[in-house]
Amino acid sequence: MSNFVRKKMTLADGEVSYLEWEGNGPLLHFAHATGFNAEVYERLLTPLQGGFHVTAADQRGHGFTTLQAMPGQQAAWANFGTDLARILDRIDRGPAVLAGHSMGGTVSMMVAAAHPERVRGLVLVEPVLVPRYAHQIARVMRWLGRVAERGNDLAAMAAKRRSIFPSFEAALASYKGRGAFKTWPDETIADYLRGGLIPTGNGTEMRLACDPLWESSVFQNSPPGGARLASRVRCPITVIYSPVSNTTRDREVGVIMRRHHDVRVVQVPETTHFLPMERPDIVQDEIARMLKG
């Protein structure tokens, strides 16, 4: 199997950079998580090109995409959904299987709910499913002087993230085996950096393509009540998540199951929120399963 080709798509407010694996099957589009980029998932997606025509785009403010990304209202997840719908229109290969990790899963479901005719299957990997009233509860908790919701903790940590590295090699050494990356294969960390670092023009120095303040703003804009979108989806849905997930709670998965007649739920023991990096084989199998539906 050949590797991907990186392409550009010009939209009204900039360019979308996306990866494409040529194939004769239906379109599979994979949407990445907050702070990541399309290239992170290369090793997951490459084996799928035998059954699909595969694409994966760097979302607004991520990777090599140059769409406007000012922290604040532009980080509303509805904008990511609009972008994805425009991308599907331009690729124009008929109803697609949409898959995504974390934010990418939620945004994929937003598109399937808004444009059911464009989507033939949904595979949601650790989707961000914020309870309907979570934001109101968090505001009350902060007013009472208690601990803020975890999403805001993630936003605060993202805003403080180191963004400049002396070289690609220095960045790779700083990530290997540390923090959230400790369960990732070294090759996948390298893919993340190849798709997520941009030269600063100062020798070998590199910076994160996803600005930490943008990443923080995206976390802050995570919408409540996402599971309820399932009632407007008209295709099969597969939800894959870790039993210890903080983003895909059993209660919210239950909301999806109550609101949609065709839901497959797959829990993967001994994984974390980074399930696509830890068990790509399971994600591949579940995406391929959509061809049989």
- Give the strand pairing for 119-125 and 164-165: unpaired
d(CA 90, CA 84): 10
In the chain, where are the structural domains located? 5-131+219-292
Which residues fall within 8 angstroms of residue 246, CB to CB, at 6 or more apart?
Answer: 150, 273
pTM attached to this predicted model: 0.92
| pLDDT single digits (tens) 14-24 | 999 999 999 98
CA torsion, points 252, 258, 260, 265, in degrees to nearest 10?
60
Q: Does the pLDDT at position 262 exceed 50?
A: yes
Residue 140: what pLDDT? 38
CATH tag for 5-131+219-292 (out of 3.40.50.300, 3.40.50.10310, 3.40.50.11540, 3.40.50.1820): 3.40.50.1820
Number of Cα atoms under 13 Å in the Cβ half of residue 87: 35
- Mean pLDDT across 190-208: 97
